[in-house]
Every structure is written in C-alpha cells, then in structure tokens.
Copies of this chain bind each other. A is one copy, B any other.
C-alpha cells in the first residue's frame, strides 16, 4: 500500500512550499511558479497534483485548532487556558504556518473567509458551548473570537510594536482579565 514513495514526497513538498508562500504573501502574491521552485519541481507538476491554484489553496487551508476539552478545566481557569493555548498554537511550532495562511488570506479572499467561518462554526463554537452551555455560548463566542483574533492580527500580521514588544507570558497575563469578564457575561 505504501508503494508510491516519490509521489507522496513531492506532494508533501509542494504543500509545504505552498503554505510558506501563502502564509508570507497571501493568495494573490504567491505564484505557482514560485511554489514549484521552492519544491524543486516543474510548475506543471503542481497542476498535476492539485488541479489548479485554487485547489492547492484549498488544501493549504486545512486547519485544526486542537482545542482541548473545555469541560475538563475549572471555570476560573478558562480564560487563561484559552489564551495560553491560543498563543502556544501560534508560536509553538514556527514551522507550522497553517494558522497564518488562513487568517492572512481570509482578509482578502472570500474562499478563505468562508473557511474561517467554517472553522469557527465547527471548532470554536462547539468547544465554548460545551464549557458555557449553549445559550450563553451563542452570544459569547463572537466576543471571545473578536478578542483572540485581535491578538493574532496585531501581533502576528500587523506586528504592532506595542504588541510584539510584550513577552508571551506578559501578553497572556494582560489579556486574561478582559477575557474573564467577557466569559463571565
């Protein structure tokens, strides 16, 4: 079953190169030619493996937030836990830039924006509903996402000095009270 060695390897190489480019420059500015060059193959190979630039993009948009089961954490620990997980997810593995791909692209690309809403609906909203109960979660999830995505925007995309200047721990500590108030309703 694992006979097709070369095929899998180049497919993975293309996807890795594509993620890097999409993460760094967004959808429009990454070219098939550049991705192919990074992966050290011919541009037409990208077409063969993924069909089109759009489908390659779609493959690069696969995101798993890896949210823990929030019912397991005590209510008082919820805000800090969320923030720590969020920052860890963004800064933990510098080679993993799937989150960057999604957020950067979603701002100018409707396809990515739709995927973002989907991630919210299938991962964020359910996780919060499990912790807060469905009625409060519906209203709170939006406010929480707003605060967390604001952090990602200013720190990892815009790189506002006032936000990048803070150490990760300091940032978590600084935002925890605000998130706590929001979660408390």
User: A residues engaging B (CB < 8 A)?
Assistant: 25-26, 28-29, 103-104, 106-108, 113, 116-117, 120, 125, 138-139, 141-143, 145-151, 153-155, 157-163, 165-166, 174-175, 177-182
Cross-chain contact A147 with B147 (CB below 8 angstroms): yes
B residues less than 8 Å from A141 (CB atoms): 162
Cross-chain contact B161 with A151 (CB below 8 angstroms): no
Copies of this chain per assembly: 2
When A and B form their complex, which 4 residue pairs have the shortest distance between CB atoms, in order from nearest? A150-B150, A142-B162, A28-B28, A26-B108
Q: What residue of chain B has the Cβ atom nearest to residue A161's Cβ?
A: B117
B residues less than 8 Å from A106 (CB atoms): 157-158
B residues less than 8 Å from A107 (CB atoms): 26, 103-104, 107-108, 153, 157-158
B residues less than 8 Å from A139 (CB atoms): 166, 174
Complex Cα–Cα for A43 and B73 (A): 60
Chain A interface, >50% SS class: helix
Select which of B108, B138, B151, B182 is within 8 A of A177 by beta carbon: B182
Complex Cα–Cα for A177 and B183 (A): 11
Complex Cα–Cα for A179 and B159 (A): 21
Cross-chain contact B108 with A158 (CB below 8 angstroms): no
Complex Cα–Cα for A139 and B165 (A): 9
Complex Cα–Cα for A108 and B153 (A): 11
B residues less than 8 Å from A174 (CB atoms): 139, 143, 182
Cross-chain contact B28 with A158 (CB below 8 angstroms): no
Complex Cα–Cα for A150 and B156 (A): 13
Complex Cα–Cα for A85 and B66 (A): 36
B residues less than 8 Å from A143 (CB atoms): 163, 174-175, 178
